[in-house]
Amino acid sequence: MIEIVRGEHDTGPPTAPQPLENLKHDVLASIVVFLVAVPLSLGVAFAAGAPLLSGLISAVVGGLVASLFGGSPLQVSGPSAALTVVLADTIATHGWPVTCAITVAAGLLQILFGLTRLARAALAVSPAIVHGLLAGIGVTLVLGQLHVVLGGSAQGSALANVLALPRQIAAHHDQAVLVGVVTLAVLLAWPRLPGPVRRIPAPLAAVALATGLSVATGMSLPRVDLPAGLPTLGIVPRLPDGGWGGFAVAALTIALIAGLESLLSAVSVDKLRCGPRTDLDRELIGQGAANVAAGALGGFPVTGVIVRSMTNYEAGARTRASAILHCVWILAACLLFTGVLRLIPLAALAALLVYVGAKLVNVNGLKEVRRHGDLPVYAVTLAGAVAVNLLTGVAAGILLALALMLRRMIFSGIHVEKDGDRHRVVIEGALTFLSVPRLTRVLAEVPPHAEVRLELLVDYLDHAAFDCLRGWQQAHGGPVTVDEIGHPWFERGSSDAPTVRRSVAARVVPRWLAPWSEWQAEHVVLPAQRTASSLLCRGASEFHRRTAPLLRDTWSGLAHGQQPHTLFITCGDARIVPNLITTSGPGDLFTVRNIGNLVPPADGDDSSVGAAIEYAVGVLGVAEIVVCGHSGCGAMKALLGRAPDGLVRLGSWLRHGEATLRRRAREAPLLLGGERPAAEADQLALQNVVQQLETLRGYPVVAEALARGGLRLTGMYFDVGAAQVSLLDDAARGFVPAGALEH
């Protein structure tokens, strides 16, 4: 039986809670998100130099439209810190009315991207570029707002902010500094406070405490400037009189950055919640509609905000009603509590933005980028975003990522190793025309007429590289053995078959799994020399060259003892490879093999198998015993009277299978995958597995382990022709494919 456990935030069928229960969770979550969104919306607008009310307008109008028409039910949209840098430059260049028109244009572009189903293309952007872009925004934000916290004003660029910072630190500090420091201190200390206190959102607590301090002490300092009564800016979007190129670039930049953050936020929420995945194209259309509405009413550009969306999820939201309600609460605050909002010091908002900006420089994300070798892409994106602008940073990051990807795709490791009088030329990776100069130089190091083994471990071999190798092989003058591991690119080219595209049907079995007969070329070992000894010697050599370096650490840990989890009893048939059909490795299986996978009775005169059972269960403490039979078993055919004549010892051993014959006579036939096997010997093989499990229960050491619950007995059957492993299932009256019992 498969039990499905659904999470608290599961919004999908079939166990979705009743609407009223959903509403209860959504109302509570919406209040938490509202308390986070108000100070952040004001702070983002302040940092960009936009009218402060524009942040609240976009939080209400843009957030509402995105929640209604977007694809992510738990996504919360509003003004984002990721847009402050580009918006500050846009406002300084074009003015606020034209910036509102740019926001509308950006929204229309996002709708166009969604309608043309380009949303998933954003997911192809390297995480290093995303993290670098966010870090660049964060650094720029911190450098600018830190001046405001210190009682000054932000400079025109990140470099100017850096140069002016020492003077700002040394300058006279006023009341704004105290408010900013208190805000930062509360934000940093809040996560370390007791649990009940932490239920209050940190941004709300920090801004509220700083505001209370400024009011209680009668500080005179700049505060939030909001109109009284019904909010209205009296501003409509205005098209520019000229400079349409800058207008288009700004609209495209906002559309790309806002769209990318929205999609990444939606994907992040999807990873947490159960239920259907977000329709990313619909989400992009919803975000575009939100920006059209927000820009038309004089609001700040809108994105799906990761911080608010995560807060919404963690607060227990169930449906999109939570995001919709949070817009209602913000509108109510604008109508009813404008006087309270006007008490907030701008220094507190600046400190909040410094904190948010610092959080955008994600240290864990940086570690992940470094682990994957993409640190240069991260650094270039960050540097371009800070030193020039965000679009330049993203473009530089994409170009470098493409260059590194191209380098990794065309990289080939080529080296020569001397092995006595012979030489080994090892080529790894992708071998293309770009590698031909280096390939030619390395091949020139091989002495003429020397015996050479050319080992190709290549993912791709193009025409130019093939011609180079083939020409060198023909001109070398000595014996050259080509040994291909993986897809036979060179072999196909030599036989005039296409090498450019590998056929779907041309599946190459890895040579460490396939028999020698499947991968050993005719010229590797001459037919007259093909003895078992020579094959095994070459196999041992292959092991030392390729497998041993990969598993040396594994065997080093097993050098002083074994702890297998399973005693595996199976037939000695050469077609049965226990570690292969169970995907196990060294140290996993304690294997016993004999003719017919038979288990002699515990009180019998054969102690070989019994000794292995006692040692595995009593000494090694295995948790499972598997008896594995197989199709086409010669021992089963012999039990049915088709044994070769004159094999006395085989006949003596097969007497342990007489119990299987008696079981066959009295029990109903067993099924394999719901059907009865056609071959009589295969029917007997199924009965034989069940009988050996019964015999195992007669061993005292097995009976004791079963009684205390420390051992499990499993019946297994391998259909050789179908390469199918099946397991004994009493409910199915036979054996069923292993995948059906996986859970």
Residue 224's region, left for phi above 0, alpha for psi from -120 to 50, else beta, is: beta
Predicted pLDDT of residue 741: 63
Which residues of the chain form CATH 3.30.750.24?
411-522
Give yes or no for a cis peptide into 527 (omega within 30° of 0): no
pLDDT at 688 over 90: yes
pLDDT at 735 over 90: yes
Predicted pLDDT of residue 408: 74
Least confident range from 78-82, 210-214, 509-513, 550-554: namely 509-513
Q: What is the DSSP letter of 345?
A: B
Predicted pLDDT of residue 155: 78
Top-confidence residue, 174 or 190: 190
pLDDT at 3 over 50: no
Catalytic pick among 372, 575, 642, 712: 575
Extract the tokens encoding 221: 């300092």
Helix (H) or strand (E) holding 430: strand 422-431
**Residues 33-64 pLDDT 10s:** 887 888 888 888 988 889 888 999 999 999 99
Arch. (CATH architecture) of 411-522: 2-Layer Sandwich (3.30)
pTM strictly above 0.75 = no
Predicted pLDDT of residue 647: 82
Predicted pLDDT of residue 274: 63
Q: What is the arithmetic mean of pLDDT over 401-419?
A: 81
Residue 550 — very low, low, confident or very high, per pLDDT cuts 50/70/90? confident
CA 33, CA 308: separation in Å to the nearest integer?
6
Residue 524 — very low, low, confident or very high, per pLDDT cuts 50/70/90? very low
Instruction: Give how far Cα 21 sits from Cα of 67, 318, 329, 641, Å.
Output: 20, 9, 20, 70
Question: Please, are residues 81 and 357 in contact by the beta-carbon 8 Å criterion?
Answer: yes
CA atoms within 13 A on the CB side of 421: 5
pLDDT at 180 over 70: yes
**293 Cβ contact partners less than 8 Å away, ≥ 6 residues apart:** 61, 62, 65, 107, 299
- Range of 9-13, 68-72, 227-231, 338-342 with top mean pLDDT: 68-72
645-653 LR contacts (CB < 8 Å, sep 24+): 650/595, 653/594, 653/595, 653/596, 653/598
Give SS3 for 354: helix
Residue 713 — very low, low, confident or very high, per pLDDT cuts 50/70/90? very high
CA 472, CA 254: separation in Å to the nearest integer?
55
Top-confidence residue, 186 or 20: 186
Angle in degrees, CA 149, 152, 157, rounded to 5: 95
pLDDT at 15 over 70: no
pLDDT at 2 over 60: no
Question: Please, are residues 296 and 100 in contact by the beta-carbon 8 Å criterion?
Answer: yes
Top-confidence residue, 30 or 529: 30
Predicted pLDDT of residue 315: 76
Extract the tokens encoding 685: 């093989």
CA 355, CA 376: separation in Å to the nearest integer?
26
What is the rounded average pLDDT for all residues in the chain? 84
- Structural class in CATH, domain 566-741: alpha beta
| Amino acid making up residue 632 | G
Catalytic pick among 462, 573, 682, 719: 573
Q: What is the arithmetic mean of pLDDT over 298-309?
A: 87
User: Is 573 an annotated catalytic residue?
Assistant: yes
Top-confidence residue, 573 or 501: 573
Q: What is the arithmetic mean of pLDDT over 694-703?
A: 96
Instruction: Give how far Cα 318 sits from Cα of 17, 28, 278, 323, Å.
Output: 9, 11, 14, 10
Top-confidence residue, 362 or 91: 91
Catalytic pick among 131, 630, 656, 664: 630
Top-confidence residue, 240 or 6: 240
> What burial class does residue 652 get, using C-beta atoms within 10 Å of its C-beta: 0-12 exposed, 13-18 middle, 19+ buried?
exposed
CA 624, CA 567: separation in Å to the nearest integer?
6
Residue 23 — very low, low, confident or very high, per pLDDT cuts 50/70/90? confident
Residue 500 — very low, low, confident or very high, per pLDDT cuts 50/70/90? low
CA 446, CA 416: separation in Å to the nearest integer?
8
pLDDT at 1 over 50: no
Which of 334, 356, 336 is closest to 53 using CA atoms? 334
Which of 39, 81, 37 is closest to 357 using CA atoms? 81
| Amino acid making up residue 676 | R
Residue 701 — very low, low, confident or very high, per pLDDT cuts 50/70/90? very high
Predicted pLDDT of residue 16: 45
Top-confidence residue, 317 or 101: 101
Number of CB atoms found within 10 A of residue 33's CB: 30
Q: What is the arithmetic mean of pLDDT over 427-432?
A: 84
Which residues of the chain form CATH 3.40.1050.10?
566-741
User: Is 630 an annotated catalytic residue?
Assistant: yes
Residue 531 — very low, low, confident or very high, per pLDDT cuts 50/70/90? low
Predicted pLDDT of residue 497: 64
Q: What is the arithmetic mean of pLDDT over 104-119?
A: 93
Predicted pLDDT of residue 649: 87
Predicted pLDDT of residue 234: 56
Three-class HEC string of 59-81: HHHHHHHHHHHCCCCCCCEECCH
Question: Please, are residues 342 and 223 in contact by the beta-carbon 8 Å criterion?
Answer: yes
Q: What is the bridge-based pairing of β-strands 734-737 and 724-729?
A: antiparallel
- Range of 128-132, 501-505, 665-669 with top mean pLDDT: 665-669
CA atoms within 13 A on the CB side of 713: 20
Catalytic pick among 100, 468, 571, 628: 571
Top-confidence residue, 590 or 491: 590
pLDDT at 324 over 80: yes
Catalytic pick among 633, 656, 682, 719: 633
User: Is 277 an annotated catalytic residue?
Assistant: no
- Range of 202-211, 315-324, 562-571 with top mean pLDDT: 562-571
Share of the chain above pLDDT 70, in %: 89
pLDDT at 172 over 90: no
